Amino acid sequence: MADTPTEGAASAPGMPQLDFSTFPNQIFWLLVTLIVIYFVLSRIALPRIGSVLAERSGTITNDIAAAEDLKQKAVEAEEAYNKALADARSEAAKIVASTKADIQSEVDAAILEADAEIAARSAEGEKAIAAIRDSAQADAATVAKDIAKDIVAAVAPGKIDAKSITAAVTAKMKG
């Protein structure tokens, strides 16, 4: 205080804090106050707040546990879903495979049948060809014998009989 204020006369006894005549009064009422606050706190306020805090932490713990449980369930549901999906896939693959096998066997059977038919037909054809060839050969032999007989008759009539000419022609055709 640079202004050096003049001390007021009213604040005569100096610090009121050192006025010992008020001490018993202050101490008495302080003790009353402290006892009242203590009873209010220990009987009502603190148990109540303590129980609210405990209840809250209990609720939070329970909620977290429930959330954990639900999460576990969700995981299980997902696993079940994935498993169902995988099962369905494998089932589908099995069906596809068996269907393919069926079709394959049908196709194989059809091919076999067709092959058999083809073989039968070609055997028939070969037989026909062989018959045609044989008849042609026979015809050729007959023609050759006739021609040979005619030629022999023309060259040396009556000298050689028809039987030996036929044998000669047959031997020649075989050779």
Partner 1 sequence: MADDAKDGGLVFHPMDQFIVKPLFGDGPVGMFTITNSTMWMALSILAVIALLVLGTRSRAIVPSRSQSVAELAYGFVYKMVEDIAGKDGVKYFPYIMTLFMFILFSNYLGLLPMAYTPTSHIAVTGVLAVAVFLAVTVLGFVKNGASFLSLFWVSSAPLALRPILALIEVISYFVRPVSHSIRLAGNMMAGHAVIKVFAAFAAVAAIAPLSVLAITAMYGLEMLVAGIQAYVFTILTCVYLKDALHPHH
Which of 60, 86 has the CB closer to partner 1?
Answer: 60
Q: Does 64 bind partner 1 (CB under 8 A)?
A: no
Q: Contact at 8 Å (CB) between 173 and 141?
A: yes
Q: CB of residue 31 vs partner 1: minimum separation in angstroms?
A: 7
Please report, as residue ranges, which positions from 94 to 153 form the binding site for partner 1 (by CB under 8 A): none
Q: Does 42 bind partner 1 (CB under 8 A)?
A: yes
Report how far residue 48's alpha carbon sits from residue 163's, in angstroms, rounded to the nearest whole number. Answer: 147
Q: Does 26 bind partner 1 (CB under 8 A)?
A: yes
Which of 1, 171 has the CB closer to partner 1?
Answer: 1
In a 10 Å sphere around its CB, with 0-12 CB exposed, 13-18 middle and 19+ buried, how is residue 115 labelled?
exposed
Q: CB of residue 93 vs partner 1: minimum separation in angstroms?
A: 54
Q: Does 2 bind partner 1 (CB under 8 A)?
A: no
Which of 55, 150 has the CB closer to partner 1?
Answer: 55
How many CB atoms lie under 10 A from the CB of residue 53? 10
The answer for residues whose C-beta is within 8 angstroms of residue 144's C-beta and 6 or more apart is 169, 173
Q: Does 29 bind partner 1 (CB under 8 A)?
A: yes
In the numeric block, the tokens 């394959």 are attached to 104
Which of 45, 103 has the CB closer to partner 1?
Answer: 45
Q: Does 66 bind partner 1 (CB under 8 A)?
A: no
Q: Which amino acid is at 124?
A: E
Question: CA triplet 119, 123, 129: central angle to 5 degrees?
Answer: 145
Q: Contact at 8 Å (CB) between 137 and 170?
A: no
Question: Where along the sequence are the contacts to partner 1 (CB under 8 A)?
Answer: 1, 3, 5-8, 10-11, 14-19, 21-34, 36-38, 40-42, 44-46, 48-53, 55-56, 59
